[in-house]
Chains A and B, each alone.
Chain A
Amino acid sequence: MSNQSRIRLERVTKRWGATTAVDEISFDVTPGQFVILLGPSGCGKSTTLRMIAGLEEASNGRIHIGERDVTRLPPGDRGLSMVFQSYALFPHLSVADNIVFGLRSRKVPKAEQRERLAKVAELVDLTDYLNRKPAQLSGGQRQRVALARSVISEHPICLMDEPLSNLDARLRSDMRREIKALQSRLNMTVIYVTHDQVEAMSMGDRVILMQHGKIVQDGTPDELYNRPASAFAASFIGSPAMNLLPLVAGENGAVIEGEPSTPVAPLDAVGGHLGIRPEDIELRIAPGSGVPANVLSEEYLGADTIAYVAVGSHTLRVRLSGKQALTGQPCSLYWTSQNTHLFDAEGLRRDDLTPTPLPSSSRSIPRPPAVGSFQH
């Protein structure tokens, strides 16, 4: 793969008046990578994408594509295509004219246009719809037209701005796989903006998590799930979200607020948070050596049940497999120290401390083998 589709951002900033939407962001996308820009709304991910596309001008910093500095180049000269959230199809043009719109702008010969159109229509399964107007298509088909329009340009880079958020849940999961398959088949470099962690985890080779215009964590989906860099990253990835418990000083170490009997971390961790994913907690009905708790209520989701459990003055979510009826029962909780995370008072991950191991645990309630499907 040539270096043509390498994208490099150096301390890129976007300011509107007094507000800073994107704050000195740097990252480097290698050719063929599927990179996700993930974050809550207003975190600057779309602005970052639009700056790469050239639809928004960077206030500071440089953007390189391949060997070229494209920071001040108009969008058409950057050699990339883009899929918009609203699809941005031309309503008065047929599907075929929509797809070849860019080729006509670039004065590609008619014969070649037809050839490429036929190939791309086949690729995204639109051959039977070429004469229709966008209004006569379903949401998923419109999305395909938008994809086809970016694929036909044969630019090595494709930017996608929440392309699936206007589709219903079922279609979305189909399209996720389709886009991913298309990307690896055509070996495109994709930067994909989303606020949906499922899309991020399932599609990305690499996820860049953003908050307040800054990068919080930049890593593989695996790293984001298993080693969240901050409490924000921990709570953003995974569903239901990771339990974050404030730690206070106890007799033999840091304890969960309101539950002084079991030390869960060294004293140094006091003031920070202990993070445990709902799927990493084991719940045993019989009172035992674990953390004593009380089941408050449960939420049945089909494949599993989320139990809400009171520990000290806090409520934890625990994921249990199948249907469970435990409300009102006292129980004890167990977890292993490699599945827990410590965060300091600022919310940053602490790797210098290891959580105190709990007394041995054996599973009494079966857990699905790979809940948290992102775990390896």
Chain B
Amino acid sequence: MNNRLLINYSPGSTPIHKLNGATKVFGFLIITVYIIMTFDVRVMLPMLILCSIGIVSMKPNWKPILLILSFLFVMAGVVGSLMIILIRPTSGYTHTGGETILIQWTNHFFISKELIWYVSAMFFKRICSLSTAILFILAITPSELAAGFNKLGMPYKICTVISLAFRTIPDIARDYIDIKNSLMMRGVELDSRKASLGKRLKQTVFILSPLIMTSFGRIGTIANAMDLRGFSKHKQRTWYSERDPTAADWVARAIILLVAAFCVYYIVYIRIMNPPPFSYWTPWGYWNG
């Protein structure tokens, strides 16, 4: 199970790994705003390139990343696009403002140049948001995540919940494997190729009930241990993975602030004050009317 997890529990050694937790969280939030705010391929492309460079520089384990990418390609790319093309072929017009029909079968089923552009631009946006997420996941460890959120002003109780959740995952995985093995030993068929969907749904009850019981049974113990150590007594707390920002952190934060300034400019000036007539930019110039 562990080799299928993308997130690291121990910090890596590349320059991005060495950044401060707060820097990483701040950067991720700004990049997410950046990707959400725009539908313009020209604006998204530089961020995608930056994120790809970041991901490559961390020398990740490529196997799970490729798996996720291919999954996204099939789900959001192929199936999602086909759905748009079959159900609303006119959405090419509503979102880009032009219609140059390439193939037409009937009045309702046709493919236009703009429809293809719209579908691929939307897929491009998904790819961008996925790559920012992968960058963030590869860069951060759970305790850094909690410390970083706390540094940005989130109440530390919520941050503790997040880091505690990650701390519990290996325990749950271990319990899950134990329960599964003991069920298989008693002759319950858990192989997905041999049991039908209905049967598997029924079997999940067999696995779930002991799993939930053991996990929730631990709550009292953990809560008591935390109370005894004085949890939530003070207004603030320190974090084990909290470090003083280095020079690299200040450089990264300056760059992120610049991006944030651009985001504010883009949202206020382009999205609110001069909204383009159609949400998606196309190279065929419908934006200028």
Partners in one complex: no
List residues of chain A with CB under 8 Å of any chain B CB.
none
